[in-house]
Amino acid sequence: MLDGKDISDQKIIQKNYKMKISNIIILFFLITGCHLSNDCSDLDINEKILKHLTIKAELSYSDGAFVIPYGGYLYNPNTVNTIGNFSIYLIPKEYKLNLDIEQYENYINNINKLSTIIKNFEIYIFLIPKKYLVLTPEGYYPNEKHIECFYKYDENQKKIKWVKSKKLNLSNKNYQYDIFWSERIVKKRVKAYRLSSINKIKNLAINSNWHGHYRYLTDEGHTAGGSWTGVYHDFHISKDSVICRQEGYMAYNKIWYLAQENKDTLELYRYKELNSGTFYKNVKKSLLYWNKSSLYLKEGEEHIKLEKMDKN
């Protein structure tokens, strides 16, 4: 049986043991962290490589950013890329709530100045260094265990800077989740720009010449059993909101539109379904405009005349 002194000595030993283990764990992370840093931060991503990644590559728009498709820009010792396998993301600094994707892709793929890219986009680069690649019949691809490095272009220092790294293992049961770590980083940044754009529009006051209650009717008819099938679309426009109530046959929705004036039109962006609380993933753009004394809604190629319900 242990006396008081023995118990006290044992607690001290346990405490010292835990501290030693903690220090070993901290030291391990410091060593491995430095190792990851050295694998990435010492690499020379110069302007020549950067131009290949941003200007000479064919970029496609996906989920709010531009990317090099088909696995990115692969390592090849016989080309300018003697560093490793790259994925590049160009994130627009001004998020467009509604855009013509094909037109937008043509725009970016016709930019021929790196300074224009830097001015309008954040540049995110993900790299698997060549030391982790093996030659296959299809080209150079990662070893089972490898590291991916994340870089950002720093406008203040005017250079590509290493941010963080990720250890990846093809045989790890979580690999299918881990490999998309880069996309999660990009989506988080895109979301921030999207919210910023939305908040700017939310804070815009709507001019009084648009205010009022307006309506149009669609799908009017009857079912085989004689039931009426029409749907009323009622727009309620005030200083700080545009709400559309859809009521009728098989329909009961309440849609919140973001709105901003553009010359003689009021641009509407379908934002949230208020009954369910669901935000629309794909923001659809519509236009309201006056033609003489009548208000019209442009949906796609269709122009719909609205009836004014409040006669003030």
Q: Where are the domains of the chain?
A: 43-202, 208-221+230-308
pLDDT at 49: 73
**Residue 197 CB partners (closer than 8 Å, separation 6+):** 94, 95, 96, 97
Share of the chain above pLDDT 70, in %: 84
- The tens digit of pLDDT for each residue in 91-116 reads 999 887 777 788 888 888 888 888 88
Examine the pLDDT at 25 and tell me if it is beyond 80.
no
pLDDT at 146: 93
pLDDT band at residue 42, thresholds of 50, 70 and 90?
low
pLDDT at 41: 65
pLDDT at 45: 67
pLDDT at 282: 67
Q: What is the mean pLDDT of residues 168-177?
A: 89
Q: What is the mean pLDDT of residues 74-85?
A: 87
Q: CA-CA distance, 31 to 25, in Å (whole number)?
A: 10
**Residue 252 CB partners (closer than 8 Å, separation 6+):** 246, 275
**Residue 278 CB partners (closer than 8 Å, separation 6+):** 272
How far, in whole angstroms, is CA 132 from its chain's centroid?
29
The encoded tokens of residue 130 equal: 């060549």
Name the more confident of 228 and 13: 228
The encoded tokens of residue 1 equal: 């049986």
**Residue 291 CB partners (closer than 8 Å, separation 6+):** none
pLDDT band at residue 24, thresholds of 50, 70 and 90?
very low
Q: CA-CA distance, 277 to 275, in Å (whole number)?
A: 6
Q: CA-CA distance, 90 to 122, in Å (whole number)?
A: 6
What is the residue-averaged pLDDT of the chain? Answer: 82
**Residue 178 CB partners (closer than 8 Å, separation 6+):** 166, 168, 169, 172
Of 109, 59, 52, the closest CA to residue 81 belongs to 52
pLDDT at 100: 74
Name the more confident of 38 and 129: 129
Pick the CATH number of 208-221+230-308 from 1.10.3210, 1.10.287, 2.40.128, 2.60.120: 2.40.128
pLDDT at 303: 95
The one-letter amino acid code at 94 reads: E
Which helix (H) or strand (E) element contains residue 59?
A: none
Q: CA-CA distance, 74 to 54, in Å (whole number)?
A: 14
- Range 77-83 contact pairs with CB under 8 angstroms and sequence separation of 24 or more: 77/130, 80/48, 80/49, 80/52, 81/49, 81/52, 82/130, 83/43, 83/44, 83/45, 83/49, 83/127, 83/129, 83/130
pLDDT at 196: 87
